[in-house]
Amino acid sequence: MSEAIDYARAAATARGHISITGVTKYFGKHKALDEVSLELAPGSVTVILGPSGSGKSTLLRAINHLERVDEGFIQIDGDYIGYRQRGDRLYELKESAILRQRTEVGYVFQNFNLFPHLTVLENIIEAPIVHKKLTRPQAIERALELLDTVGLRHKADAWPRQLSGGQQQRIAIARALALNPRVMLFDEPTSALDPELVGEVLDVIRSLAQSGVTLVVVTHEIGFAREVADQIVFMVDGKIVEQGAARQVINAPQHPRTRRFLANVL
């Protein structure tokens, strides 16, 4: 009996289970994703590695339905991304429902993409207010907490252009967290930064690994991957060619492409 209650409680609190099943995506005749299947446990950290053009960004974008896939499907906590199920068929959601679904998924880009005409605070409170998840005072309170988390409360009234790249990226992370997402996707979050600013951004991502949000990070920072990732996925030509525990994949890669890639980045 108590086991059943524990299970029900765990199921109710476990957020951010991503299930990717047989996903294929074409751009014209080019197969950017080739039958990708992957399970990401709630609260887990997955690092995606692979050479340029292997489909890493396309996969992240598919998780958010920024790319519509041609075959297969993606679910977060059982919800079909971009679709609803009726009987045994899937129907594409309306744009408004897709936008609502996207509020459950935070997305952090290589180039920060802060709104240049808004202050740091306004950048963070915009989405929670627009999506009516919070009132303005609630949104401000939450934004200040998030600014504490990323160590930038003193920059609340600054403009994005007044900040370093590392600071802008930390603000972008706070902004993505403001909607209380189940999942955070990072697409090469440090590759546009000067080397001395990489660490401060990785520190923020590392601190999120303990927060219960499911993290998916595309990065070439192998040290970070080894230390923080629960699983590493290595992609080549739209396919997952190797996947496993971080230490296993980094210390004893099985696939020749993984070996060559790691030899070049380590």
| Contact between residue 119 and residue 170 where contact means Cβ atoms under 8 Å apart | no
3-state SS of 56-105 is HHHHHHHHCCCCCCCEEEEEECCEECCEEEECCEEEECCHHHHHHHHCCE
254/260 Cα distance (integer angstroms): 11
In whole angstroms, how close is the CB of 187 to Mg ion at the nearest point? Answer: 6
Residue (60 or 228) nearer to Mg ion, CB: 60
| Contact between residue 143 and residue 125 where contact means Cβ atoms under 8 Å apart | yes
In whole angstroms, how close is the CB of 237 to Mg ion at the nearest point? Answer: 14
In whole angstroms, how close is the CB of 244 to ligand ADP at the nearest point? Answer: 19
- Residue 57 binding Mg ion, by CB under 5 A: yes
Residue (179 or 234) nearer to ligand ADP, CB: 234
- Residue 53 binding ligand ADP, by CB under 6 A: yes
With CB cut-offs between 5 and 8 Å by kind, which of ligand ADP, Mg ion, none does residue 27 bind?
ligand ADP
18, 32, 62, 176: which one binds ligand ADP (CB under 6 A): 32
Stretch of 53-61, 163-171, 247-255, 256-264 lying at the interface with ligand ADP (CB under 6 A): 53-61
156: DSSP letter: T
27, 100, 130, 145: which one binds ligand ADP (CB under 6 A): 27
74/19 Cα distance (integer angstroms): 6
Residue whose token pair is 């609803």: 84
- Residue 57 binding ligand ADP, by CB under 6 A: yes
